[in-house]
Amino acid sequence: MGSLPRRQRVAAYAVILRERGGRVEILLSRLAPRVSRSELWTLPGGGVDHGEDPRDALIREVHEETGLAATVGDRARVYSAHMPRSPRDGQLVDAHAIRLVYEGWVAPDSPRPRVLEVDGSTVEAAWRPLDDVLSGAVPVASVVTEALVDHRPFRLQRVAAYALVTRGGADAGHDGPEELLLTRLSPRAAHPGRWTLPGGGVDHGEHPAIALAREVEEECGLPCRVGELVGVHDTHFSGTAPSGRIEDYHGVHLVYAAAVADGHPRVLEQDGTTDAVAWVPVGDIDAGAVDVLDLVRWARARSATARTEGDRA
C-alpha cells in the first residue's frame, strides 16, 4: 500500500481568559459535528493563509469564530502534532499540525461571543469556567490542555509615585478636622470605586517627583509641591487590567509628602483611571466609612511613625 498524502498546516490560536464574579473563565469554540461527532471545545483560532502574519490571522479567526475583537500578545508557544492517519475532506492523510498559541484578551465590556462565519469548523463560542476545563467537565481538544499547562499570566511591574496631602488638624493654616486628599478609582481601574492617594505611573526617563506633580495636577486640578519621600510601598496580586488582560501585577509605590495650592479640587483628565477627587476626613477613613486601598492606611501609618521618630530625635 502506498503512502498517504501529506498535509502540513500552520494555525494560530489564543488563550483568552477573563475574571467574572471571582472565577476565571476561558473563551472556547465548539467544533462542528463534521469535525468532531462528539462535543469538543477548542481554542479560538485557525489556519494561517499563505503570506499572512500569524497574529493577523489569529485576530481574524477569533473575530470570525467569536465575534469579538481580540488583542494578541507578541510571543507564542509552538506545538506540533503528527497524525499519520487522519481524515481530511473525505480521505485519510498523513497530517502534521503546527500550532502557534498566543495569549490574547478582549475588552471587559465586550459583547457575548457568537459565531460569525457560515459553514465553518465551529458552531458555538462561549466563556467556560476554567475549573471545569481543568477538571475535564468540559471536553476539550488536546491543544487546550497543552496550552493551559504552559500558560502563565502576563507579568507587569509598574513604578508609580503618590502624594500624601493633608490639611486641618494640627495644620494651623486650616480649621476643622484633619483631612486627606484622595482620588476615586474609575471603572477603568483595577479597583473601581475605591479611594487612593493621588498620583500615578512614572514614565520612562521621568523623575518620580516630576511625574507626581504632573499626575496630581491631572487628577486634582491643583498645582503640587512635592516634599520628602515618606517611604516605598508595594503590592502584588493577579487581576484584570483595564484592557481586559489578566495580569500578575507588582506595583512599586513611591510615597511623598506633598502640598497643593488652595482651591477646589477637580479631575482634569478625561477617560482615565480617576473619576472623583475630594478632601476626606481622616476620621471617616479610620472608621471604615470610606473604602480605601491599603496604600492609604500604609502611608498614614508610615508618616506617623516618621513624625514620632523625628520628635524623639
Q: What is the pLDDT of residue 94?
A: 92
Q: What is the pLDDT of residue 86?
A: 83
Q: What is the pLDDT of residue 172?
A: 47
C-alpha 61/C-alpha 115 separation (Å) is 10
Give how far the C-alpha of residue 8 lies from the chain's centroid of Cα atoms, to the nearest Å.
36
Among 190, 197, 236, 238, which Cα is nearest to 215's? Answer: 197
Residue with cell 481568559: 17
Residues of the chain falling short of pLDDT 50: 1, 172
Cell triple for 173? 493654616
Q: Does domain 154-312 have CATH number 3.40.50.2300?
A: no
Distances (CA, A) of 275 to 160, 174, 178: 18, 26, 23
C-alpha 80/C-alpha 116 separation (Å) is 28
6-150 shares its CATH topology with 154-312: yes
Q: Tell me the residue length of the chain.
A: 313
Q: What is the pLDDT of residue 312?
A: 55
C-alpha 213/C-alpha 225 separation (Å) is 7
Q: What is the pLDDT of residue 304?
A: 85
Q: What is the pLDDT of residue 188?
A: 83
What ranges do the domains of the chain cover? 6-150, 154-312
Q: What is the pLDDT of residue 1?
A: 47
Q: What is the pLDDT of residue 250?
A: 96
Q: What is the pLDDT of residue 206?
A: 97
Superfamily of domain 6-150 in the CATH hierarchy: Nucleoside Triphosphate Pyrophosphohydrolase (3.90.79.10)
pTM: 0.77
Q: What is the pLDDT of residue 308?
A: 64
* Residues 81-130 pLDDT 10s: 998 988 777 788 999 999 999 999 999 999 999 999 999 999 999 999 99
Cell triple for 68? 469579538
